[in-house]
Amino acid sequence: MLFLDDILFAPANGILWIFEEIHRAAQEEMVSETESITDALRNLYMALETHSITDAQFDAGEKVLLDRLDSIEARGELQADEIEEIEEEVVGAE
């Protein structure tokens, strides 16, 4: 009977695995994007300290970069919620 269950639930388990892989790839992409924005912020602060840019230029650049970080964080929360809902649906179907 256990073998039959494995055969019957294989499609649901496959779909669940696919969504987990998509989630993992999205998380890795967000981490790399976050790191690049953090590096850009670090460079922006260094430019301000060396007086390569004005305070107004710094404020404008910082606002853009921080807004991008906020949007990444918001996307990450949405994706995690969506993945949890899908997993619940798949597990509930079993």
Q: What is the spatial distance between Cα 37 and Cα 34, in angstroms, rounded to a whole number?
A: 5
**Where along the chain do its domains lie?**
30-94
Under the banding of pLDDT at 50, 70 and 90, the label for residue 49 is very high
Tokens of 55: 């305070």
62 neighbors 41 (Cβ within 8 angstroms): yes
Q: Is the pLDDT at 67 greater than 80, yes or no?
A: yes
DSSP structure string for 73-92: HHHHHHHHHHHHHHHHHHHH
- Taking residues 17-45, what's their average pLDDT? 87
Q: Is the pLDDT at 88 greater than 80, yes or no?
A: no
pTM of the predicted structure, to 2 decimals: 0.60
DSSP structural state of residue 94: -
Helix, strand, coil tally for the chain in percent (to 5): 95, 0, 5
